[in-house]
């Protein structure tokens, strides 16, 4: 990786990246730069030559970053639709961030659609150094809430994700569905897909949106389809055995 390793790094992207608002591609580039910044989601910066500047209007809004410098902002206008301060640029960045000089970035959640090559992608851009490994395990996983064992399994899928705690995805047959209440909440993970949520309810005790599942995960993460996962903070206990049932496996 190039750039300031302590806080910032810059990755030239070989992909064709398109940012869509309405029916217009406000940016379309094969020369975007992916900024990886500690504590922030990855962001694509597009060369100005690949941005529809005619669809943008400069605003008075500005922000300062000690690592990148002062950012200027633009509204994006498509017909009668206007996205306030949806794009920004470091026109005179710090020397350490010179790679994004003359580039424009967009808030991903204000775009209508985003494409990498010809595939629509969702959520923030992916970090190329972010990894997910899913491994089946016979080690027991037990989930307790309000004094009830709400899930217990020797068939969990352990999901190991860079920089995040291990998650335990439990087959639906090993979860007591009578304690699950469907929720309207959803969330998007750019690595796994769209998650649906359930609340836990045991007698008078409830924990909102404590359980999630990827019912139709992205093709890169198919093994967790339909499995349930619990927030440790929302339940009394998630215990994980140190060894599995079959100790003869090397």
Q: What is the pLDDT of residue 222?
A: 85
Q: What is the pLDDT of residue 178?
A: 97
Domains 8-120 and 132-240 share a fold: yes
Q: What is the pLDDT of residue 7?
A: 87
Q: How far is CA 128 from the centre of its chain?
A: 13
Q: Cβ(217)–Cβ(193) under 8 Å?
A: yes
Q: Cβ(30)–Cβ(61) under 8 Å?
A: no
Which stretches of the chain drop beneath a pLDDT of 50?
A: 1-5, 246-250
Cβ burial 117-142 (10 Å sphere, 16+ → b, else e) = eeeebebbbebeeeebebeebeebbb
CA distance 44 to 108: 9
Q: Cβ(156)–Cβ(166) under 8 Å?
A: no
Q: Give the start-to-end residue ranges of the domains of the chain.
A: 8-120, 132-240
Q: What is the pLDDT of residue 4?
A: 41
State which fold the 132-240 domain adopts. Answer: 2.170.150
State which fold the 8-120 domain adopts. Answer: 2.170.150
Q: What is the pLDDT of residue 244?
A: 54
Provide DSSP, 90-126.
-SS--GGGGGGTTEEEE-GGGSSEEEETTEE--SSPP
């Amino acid at each position: 990786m190039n750039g300031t390793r302590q806080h910032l790094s810059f990755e030239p992207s070989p992909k064709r990246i398109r940012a869509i608002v309405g029916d217009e591609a406000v940016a379309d580039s094969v020369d975007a730069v992916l900024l990886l910044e500690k504590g922030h989601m990855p962001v694509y910066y597009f060369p100005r030559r690949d941005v529809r500047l005619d669809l943008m209007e400069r605003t008075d809004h500005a922000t300062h970053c000690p690592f990148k410098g002062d950012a200027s902002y633009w509204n994006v206008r498509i017909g009668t639709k206007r996205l306030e301060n949806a794009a920004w640029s470091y026109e005179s960045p710090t020397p350490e961030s010179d790679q994004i000089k003359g580039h424009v970035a967009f808030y991903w959640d204000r775009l209508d659609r985003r494409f990498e090559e010809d595939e629509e992608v969702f959520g923030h851009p992916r970090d190329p150094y972010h990894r997910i490994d899913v491994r089946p395990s016979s080690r027991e996983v037990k989930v307790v809430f309000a004094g009830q064992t709400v899930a217990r399994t020797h068939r969990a899928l352990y999901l190991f994700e860079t920089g995040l705690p291990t998650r335990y995805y439990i087959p639906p047959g090993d979860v007591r569905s009578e304690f699950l209440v469907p929720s309207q909440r959803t969330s998007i993970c750019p690595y796994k897909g769209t998650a649906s949520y359930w609340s836990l309810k045991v007698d008078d005790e409830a924990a909102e949106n404590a359980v999630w599942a990827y019912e139709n995960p992205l093709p890169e993460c198919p093994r967790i389809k339909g499995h349930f996962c619990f927030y440790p903070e929302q339940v009394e206990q998630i215990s994980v055995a140190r060894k599995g049932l079959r100790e003869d496996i090397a």
